[in-house]
Structure 1
């Protein structure tokens, strides 16, 4: 059964670019390394050949995984999302009620999460606790370590 994965258009383009890079540049480079190692003689004791074949196997595994991800990807249409409550592609400004700190996060598919850019996966405990909440609501979130936190939703918009 196919494991459908929701992505943004930008995320799908990134997956396709990575696949193209692997197929167009990395695959021929490894084939060349195998050919060079094969030219050096006895393959039974040729560490270079073994290393190149192992690298080829790992590359083909990665290519296959990317091909599956692309085949099972479904692009999220931001215009179809309810902007009145937190959902995937929402940009949410929240306030930690315990310490008054304010943070802004974009909720994105797991493959596009990047905390340094303020993008968190919808599968994180904080995102799961925010999903479905509306502007001004309080989200009670329990973290994996058992800590309970409360966040107030200060601002909410869907990113296009």
Structure 2
């Protein structure tokens, strides 16, 4: 993952683990049929493609809209609103969503260059700087989202075709 001399660099650890989870999500989705990508195997009802779309929008919400206060189009594009179930729109497909996931990772690397203790900017997800968490908090949150959802995807993949492991 990282050379030993970079293991103490929190920024590099965050970014390396986020890269690792993005790659793992891509590997878990590779080889699933269109039907498997669109079918839920769990009582909660989400499909693997919906989970992928959620990860794309989740990272965008926290880093671009949240930390940078960029005005992003449809910050809740994976669900419509903050508490709604994930959903797909006509035209959503694996290749385009994976490309968006990769592009989001590149944008995250561009954003994560300053002080990890810096607070997010006001005007995007957060109305005031006082509401905004630090970049370090946001990175930990995004990392735990990836870890949790990658674990869920592990189970879905095993149920789909028996594939296990990272």
TM-score higher than 0.5 here?
no
**Which one has more relative contact order, counting CA pairs under 8 Å at least 6 apart?**
2
Higher Cα Rg, which structure: 1
TM-score using structure 1 length: 0.31
Q: Normalized per residue, which structure has more strand?
A: 1
Q: Normalized per residue, which structure has more helix?
A: 2
